[in-house]
C-alpha cells in the first residue's frame, strides 16, 4: 500500500495527474511515500479515463495536478480524479494545484464576462474536494471563492533564500512590474533587509490579452541591482518591457524572479534576449527543454508542497511554514 500510516489508523495517499509527474515524484520522495498507481488515458474522442489501481478507502487523499497547457485537459483530469476518490470512499480529498487554473480571471473588467476563477472553485467543490492547496495565487482574495479551507502557500522564502546568494543586498532595489503588486514588493524588500522600492508604470488594453506597455519607472534604480518580482510570467512581454525601462534608467543589473513559469511562446526568446542577468522561477509548472535558456534558474517547490501536505495530514499549522505570513 502507498502512503504514510499513523498509529495504524490514518493513511495519507498522494496521487498525480499526468501534467507534471516529475514534480509529484519529488513531492512523494520528500514525504517518503509512493504515488498511488493510477491508470489514466484519453479515448479517441478526447474523453479522459482515470482509475486507481489500489484501495484508497478511508485515506486522506492529496491529488496533485499542475495546470500547464493544455490547461483545460488537466483541469478536467483532476476533477475526474477527485470524483473517483469521492466514489472510492476516501476520508478527505485535497486538490493540490500549485498554479491555480484561470487565476487571472478573478473579476469582471467589463459586462457579460465570466468570473472564471470562481467557476473553477465551484467545480472542485462539486466534484468532491474538501480543501484546495495552491502556491502564490494571483489575487489572495480568490481564497474566498471556495467554500472550504484553502491553503495558500508562498514561494517567497524559497526564492528569497536563493536571491540572497546572487546579489549584493546592500545595493538592491526591489521592483514591482506594476503598481498593483507593490504590496508583494514591500514584503520582498523587508525580507532582503529593508531595501528601497520602485515600480514600473504600465498601461494595459483590457480588450487585448497578454499586452501591456511599460512607460516609466517610479523610484530610484540608477546604479542599483534591481530584483524584478512577479507571481507569473506568461508570454514575457510585460516583464521584458520592464527590464528595458529599468536598463534605460541606468539600472546596474536586473534579475527577474517569479513563482510560476507559464512561458507561453515567445516567452523563452523574450526572456533570453531582454538583458536580465538571470531569470529565476520555480517548478510549479513543467519547463520543457525547448523553453530553457542559459540564464534561466528553476528552483524546486516540492519541499514546500511536501511540508504543507504533512502539516494538513497531521492537523498542524500551515501558517507556521511562513513565520506567520500565511
Q: Confirm if 33 and 3 have CB atoms less than 8 A apart.
A: yes
Cis omega (within 30 of 0) for bond into 74: no
Q: pLDDT tens digit string along 56-68?
A: 999 999 999 999 9
The C-alpha cell 484561470 sits at 102
- Residue 178: what pLDDT? 85
Task: Please report, rounded to a whole number, the percentage of residues in the chain having pLDDT higher than 70.
Answer: 92
* 303, pLDDT greater than 90: yes
Mean pLDDT of 299-308: 98
Write down the pTM of the prediction: 0.92
Q: Spot the catalytic one: 86, 91, 108, 202.
A: 202
Q: pLDDT tens digit string along 270-298?
A: 999 999 999 999 999 999 999 999 999 99
275/308 Cα distance (integer angstroms): 36
One DSSP character per residue, 23-36 reads: HHHHHHHHHT-PBP
Crossing angle for the helix pair 156-164 and 182-191, to the nearest 10 degrees: 50
CA-to-CA separations, 198 to 64, 95, 175, 179, 311, in angstroms, rounded: 36, 36, 5, 9, 36
DSSP three-state, residue 183: helix
Q: Is 202 a catalytic residue?
A: yes
What is the C-alpha end-to-end distance of the chain, expressed in Å? 33
* 3, pLDDT greater than 90: no
Of the candidates 157, 151, 179, which has an alpha carbon nearest to the alpha carbon of residue 317?
A: 151
Residues forming a β-bridge with 150: 132
28/119 Cα distance (integer angstroms): 30
Backbone angles phi, psi at 299, to 5 degrees: -100, 145
69/74 Cα distance (integer angstroms): 8
Amino acid at each position: 500500500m502507498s502512503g504514510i500510516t499513523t498509529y495504524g489508523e490514518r493513511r495519507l495517499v498522494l496521487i498525480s495527474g499526468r501534467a507534471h509527474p516529475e514534480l509529484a515524484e519529488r513531492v512523494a520522495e520528500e514525504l517518503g511515500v509512493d504515488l498511488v498507481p493510477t491508470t489514466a488515458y484519453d479515448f479517441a474522442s478526447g474523453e479522459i479515463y482515470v482509475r486507481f489501481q489500489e484501495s484508497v478507502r478511508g485515506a486522506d487523499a492529496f491529488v496533485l495536478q499542475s495546470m500547464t497547457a493544455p490547461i483545460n485537459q488537466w483541469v478536467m483530469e483532476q476533477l475526474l480524479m477527485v470524483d473517483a476518490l469521492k466514489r472510492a470512499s476516501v476520508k478527505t480529498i485535497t486538490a493540490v494545484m500549485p498554479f491555480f487554473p484561470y487565476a487571472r480571471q478573478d473579476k469582471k473588467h467589463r459586462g457579460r464576462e465570466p468570473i472564471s476563477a470562481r467557476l473553477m472553485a465551484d467545480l472542485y467543490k462539486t466534484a468532491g474536494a474538501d480543501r484546495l492547496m495552491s502556491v502564490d495565487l494571483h489575487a489572495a482574495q480568490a481564497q474566498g471563492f471556495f467554500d472550504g479551507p484553502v491553503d495558500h502557500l508562498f514561494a517567497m522564502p524559497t526564492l528569497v533564500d536563493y536571491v540572497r546568494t546572487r546579489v549584493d543586498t546592500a545595493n538592491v532595489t526591489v521592483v514591482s512590474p506594476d503598481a498593483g503588486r507593490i504590496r508583494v514588493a514591500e514584503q520582498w524588500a523587508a525580507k532582503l533587509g529593508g531595501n528601497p522600492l520602485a515600480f514600473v508604470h504600465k498601461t494595459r488594453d483590457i480588450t487585448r490579452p497578454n499586452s501591456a506597455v511599460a512607460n516609466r519607472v517610479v523610484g530610484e534604480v540608477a546604479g542599483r541591482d534591481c530584483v524584478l518580482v512577479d507571481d507569473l510570467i506568461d508570454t514575457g512581454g510585460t516583464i521584458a518591457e520592464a527590464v528595458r525601462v529599468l536598463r534605460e534608467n541606468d539600472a546596474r543589473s536586473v534579475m527577474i524572479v517569479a513563482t510560476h513559469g507559464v512561458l507561453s511562446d515567445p516567452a523563452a526568446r523574450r526572456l533570453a534576449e531582454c538583458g536580465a542577468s538571470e531569470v529565476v522561477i520555480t517548478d510549479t509548472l513543467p519547463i520543457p527543454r525547448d523553453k530553457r535558456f542559459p540564464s534561466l534558474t528553476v528552483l524546486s517547490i516540492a519541499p514546500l508542497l511536501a511540508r504543507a501536505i504533512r502539516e494538513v495530514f497531521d492537523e498542524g499549522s500551515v501558517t507556521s511554514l511562513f513565520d506567520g505570513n500565511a
